[in-house]
Amino acid sequence: MSNILTAKTVTKRFGGLTAVNTLSIEIPEKSIYSVIGPNGAGKTTFFNCITGFYQPEEGDIVFNERSILGLTSDQISQRGISRTYQNIRLFSNLTALENILVGQHALLKSTLFGSIFGMAGTKREEAEAVIEAKRLLAFVSLARKGDMLAKNLPYGDQRRLEIARALASKPKLLLLDEPTAGMNPNETEDMTKFIRRLRDELGITILLIEHDMRVVMGISEKITVLDYGEKIAEGTPKDIQGNERVIEAYLGRGSAAQITA
């Protein structure tokens, strides 16, 4: 299996702080890959480098065998990378349906003049886009809530709507930033199943930031652990669970010694 995304010695600094330090990751196609680490380890910064929010100072990021370094986030989205956010960032004053339609923006072609004059092609495209958006709403079980403003949806629905919006651009790689944050065990369970469905049914590669270890260990095929911007471990869930440096990073040196002793 080939790698869909390869990060080569990516480094991102903010002034004197090195948020991500010579990080190299290879993400195989159609895998579920997790990035974990304590707070402030640089996980979200790494996401922001991939999606073009930040430009790394060093290194290269290759997606589908082409470098995406220096591209703007809209160009990266058009290459096939889509994401969700740690603190939900929906278009809160648009309806759920409109949020998904915005997600399809790059796939649609209608122009200003096409819309003004109501050209046949534009109308057809718009009708198809609405059908597709409703299909996506149903896929994340929000079929009846399409007309609600995004800000009026309950928390769990907002999380799923954000994923549906990310899916609307038909990505090959989906970046999920703490998708189960703030969820109860039942909801977390549902979300875990849902993420697996995304990969199995839609064939999308998933890159995941997550704090809930049950989720991470349950669905990841491979895990990278970051601490202070550096990769301290990499491997299958089993490898990671027994890794001394990881336990140390999470619990501190003393407790790590107690556990391994």
Q: Which range in 21-29, 83-91, 181-189, 192-200 contacts other proteins by CB under 8 A?
A: 83-91
73 binds other proteins (CB under 8 A): yes
Type of residue numbered 2: S
- Of the two residues 116 and 261, which places its CB atom closer to other proteins in the complex? 116
Min dist CB 226 to other proteins, Å, is: 22
Interaction mask 36-65, other proteins, x per CB under 8 A: ---------------xxx------------
Q: Which residues does 72 contact at the CB level (< 8 Å), separation at least 6? A: 52
The correct pick among 59, 103, 179, 229 for binding other proteins (CB under 8 A) is 103
The correct pick among 44, 77, 180, 224 for binding other proteins (CB under 8 A) is 77
Give the containing element (helix H, strand E) for 147: none
Separation in Å, CA 240 to CA 51, 194, 244? 27, 24, 9
209 binds other proteins (CB under 8 A): no
Min dist CB 186 to other proteins, Å, is: 23
Task: Report the C-alpha gap between 63 and 65 in whole angstroms.
Answer: 5
Token representation of residue 163: 């994923």
Residues from 109 through 128 that contact other proteins (CB under 8 A) = 110-112, 115-116, 118, 122, 126
How many C-beta atoms surround the C-beta of residue 22 within 10 A? 15
The correct pick among 58, 74, 200, 239 for binding other proteins (CB under 8 A) is 74
Task: Quote the longest CA-to-CA distance of the chain.
Answer: 75
Task: Report the C-alpha gap between 166 and 206 in whole angstroms.
Answer: 12
How is residue 149 annotated by DSSP? B
Min dist CB 120 to other proteins, Å, is: 14
How is residue 212 annotated by DSSP? -
In sequence order, the β-bridge partners of residue 14 are: 17
How many residues in the chain? 261
106 binds other proteins (CB under 8 A): yes
Kindly list the residues in this chain that would bind other proteins in the complex (CB under 8 A).
51-53, 72-74, 76-78, 82-83, 85, 89, 91-95, 98, 101-103, 105-108, 110-112, 115-116, 118, 122, 126, 129, 144, 147, 149, 165, 169
